Chain A
């Protein structure tokens, strides 16, 4: 079955860039997601990238996809304290109903 792996914790200083990494197993996914979960809150779709793209940029967010290595990363430029949250990499399975498999989540701590 699908498996999505992430490092558990990342600490950065405010103003620095954060890079959150993810590896996945299902190479046939149409796209891959990044979700953000703030403490006690739900899952916010942050961004996604189609599998035929290598890079997607959206304001402070840059998503890089290396299909050969099945590696996905999320870069947050000029990280702010409001970016402190858990970030989940996720992939929909390639079956018709596309349940989403989530990674373990990376807790980003931004130090003022």
Chain B
């Protein structure tokens, strides 16, 4: 069964460093998402991406964040200058069409020291 994959599974970085989290959505999917889950808290929406542009973003998704689909398979989330409070599990998700369910990847645990 096709699945969303994410790399790395765990990323440790120093405060102020840039990180790129990578996702490979399911191949025929058109809608892409990033969510995050701070330890012990709710899963929160960050951004949605469709037709090579951001379609919606939350208040969390400030200028330090960016997303890109550099080729036909990868979908990345970049954090330019990480802060301690960026430590969280980051989930990528994808969806085939406008009435389909979202499928989530296994997540990348980001730890900012």
Which A residues lie at the B interface, using CB under 8 A?
A: 30-31, 33, 35, 41-45, 48, 88, 90, 92, 95-105
Contact = CB atoms under 8 A, between A and B. Distances in A.
B102 to A, nearest CB: 6
B29 to A, nearest CB: 13
B106 A100 contact: no
Q: What is the predominant secondary structure among interface residues of chain B facing chain A?
A: strand
Top 3 A-B pairs ranked by shortest CB distance? A42-B106, A102-B43, A43-B104
B99 A42 contact: no
**What bracket does the count of chain B residues touching chain A fall in?**
20 to 34
Nearest to B57: A99
Contacts, number: 57
Nearest to B48: A97
Interface in B43-66: 43-45, 48, 50, 55-56, 58
A24 B53 CA distance: 29
Contacts of B105: 42
B95 interface: yes
28 contacts: A33-B101, A33-B102, A35-B104, A41-B106, A41-B107, A42-B91, A42-B104, A42-B105, A42-B107, A43-B43, A44-B104, A45-B101, A45-B102, A90-B43, A95-B56, A96-B55, A97-B31, A97-B48, A97-B50, A97-B56, A98-B95, A99-B45, A100-B102, A101-B45, A102-B35, A102-B42, A104-B42, A105-B42
